[in-house]
Amino acid sequence: MLGEDVIELDRERRQRLPSWSEIVDGLRSATSDTSDTAVEVLKRAKGRPVLQPRCGVGGHAEMLDLLRALESAGAPDLLSVTIDSHTRLRHFATADRVRRENPAQLNGYPLVAHGWERGRELVAAVGVPLQVRHGSPDGRDLFAVSLAAGITSFEGGGIGYNIPYAKDVPLADSLRAWQQVDAVTAELARSGVVLERELFGSLTAVLVPPSLSLAMTLLEAVLAAEQGVRCVSISYPQSGEVHQDVAALRAIRAVAAEYLPADMTVFTVLHEFMGVFPAGRDWAEALVHYGGLVGRLGGADKVITKTHQEALGIPTAAANAHGLRLARAACSPLLDFVRLDEGRVAEEQHWIEREVAELVTPVLERPRLATAVEAGFAAGTLDIPFSASVHARADVVPLRDPTGAIRYHAAGALPLSGDVLRRQHRLLSHRTAALTDEILADINYFADRPPWTAEKGQVPA
C-alpha cells in the first residue's frame, strides 16, 4: 500500500487505493513519451513564464468540460484542479453528500469523494499536466488520491496551508502531515517520478510583505529538503508595485541558493494579484495583463493567472481563457522593450534579502526546524498579518508606501533590525490617517479607481 511506513492515511481510504507499485507505474504511464510532468513543463520556461489558470467545480462531467474548454480556448501550459473547502478541511463525508445531491454548491472539485479513478479521467481528458490546489493543513489523503490519479503537481505546506486558512490547527500537526507528504515525494523521486511541490507564498493574500512571504516558503522548502525533496516551486503573490514584485521574484533564487541544498531545483511562481479586484472589465483586464508582464520581467517560471471577473464571483471558462490570453500577450516578445529602473529593483532586492535573513536565521539556527517554527509563531518572531489562526499573533500590520509597495507599519515581535525598521517607518511617514482607514484603503488599492483617473481637482493633460 501507499508508503505505509512513510505516510499515515485514513485506513478505509488507504484500502481503496492501488498498491504503491501500481501508483508509481500509473504515474510513469501518465507521463509517457506523449505526456509531460509538471516539472518537465516548467523546465521549458526559459525566460517566458508558463501559464496556469485556477479552476474547479463540483461535478465530474462539469469538471471534464471545464478542463477541455480551457485547454481549447486558452492554451494553458498546465491546468488546475482546485479542491472544494469541505475536502480541504477533511470533511470528506460532507463533500461526498453534496457531490451526490447538488455538486453545483461546491466551490471546487471534491477529488477524494470522486475517487482516484475519476481523477485519472481528468488527467486523460487534456494534454497538459494537472496540479491539485487546495488549502488543506493536512492534505495527506488528498495527496494519496492525487498520486493514484496520476497527477504530478501538488501545492501546499505546513505553514502556508495552515496559518492563513485554519482557525485552530496546531502547527505541530500540520508540519508533521506535510513532512509525510514530502517524504513520499522524495520516495517517488527515487523511483523516477519527480513531482512539482509548490509552496504557497500568497499566505492570506492581503498586503503580505515580500520578505515575510519568502521567509515562510523558504522555511517550508528547508523542511521539504530535510525529507529528501530536491525539487520545489516557491510562489510569490503580486503586491502591485512592479519594482518590488520583480525584486521579490529575483530574490527567490538568491535566498534559495543561500539556504537550500545545492542539488535542489527551484522554480519561481508568480500569483497574479489576489486582492480585491476592480469590478470594471477594462481595469480588471489591465491588472491581469500587468501581472503577466511582472512575471516575465521578474523571470518567473510560472504565472498563475486571474480574470476580469474576479470581483463578480467564480469566473466562467470563457473569462478564464481570456485571462490566459491577456497574460500570454504580456509575455510576448513584442513587449521586450519594456525596461525598469534596475537600480531601484536592486535596492528593493537587497532589502528583501536582508529582511528574509533576519527572519529565518534565528529559526534555522535551532536544532529541530519544525519545533523552531512552532516556537517562533508562539513567540511572534514568526507571524502572518490578518491571520485568523489562534496559533499566530497577527501583530504585523502592513501598509503601502507612496509608490504602492508594501511595507511594515508594525512588525510585532519579528526580529527585524533597527536599520530595517527605520527604513520602513521613513517610507510610511506620509500615512497619518486612522489606521483602519489606511488599511482599508490599501486593501482596495486596485478596486477604488483606475490609476488613469484624475484625482479630484486635477485635469489630465
Which of 143, 89, 98, 88 lies closest to 119, judged by CA? 143
Contact predicate 144/92, CB 8 Å = no
DSSP bridge partners of 51 = 303
Q: Which of 13, 54, 99, 155 is catalytic?
A: 155
Virtual torsion, Cα 331, 209, 361, 170, nearest 10 deg = -110
DSSP bridge partners of 155 = 198
Q: Is the backbone of residue 156 left (phi > 0), alpha (psi -120 to 50) or beta?
A: left
Distance between CA 151 and CA 236 in Å, rounded?
23
- Known catalytic residue: 88? yes
At residue 82, φ and ψ (nearest 5 deg) are: -80, 130
Q: Which residue has the cell 509548490?
A: 198
DSSP assignment letter at 400: E
Residue 413 Cα distances to 207, 312, 352, 417, 419, angstroms = 18, 38, 18, 11, 15
Distance between CA 122 and CA 102 in Å, rounded?
20
Distance between CA 139 and CA 184 in Å, rounded?
12
Q: Which of 13, 48, 54, 88 is catalytic?
A: 88
Which of 256, 154, 149, 234 lies closest to 195, judged by CA? 154
Assigned C-alpha cell, 365? 539556527
Q: Is the backbone of residue 203 left (phi > 0), alpha (psi -120 to 50) or beta?
A: left
At residue 398, φ and ψ (nearest 5 deg) are: -95, 155
Active site residues: 88, 155
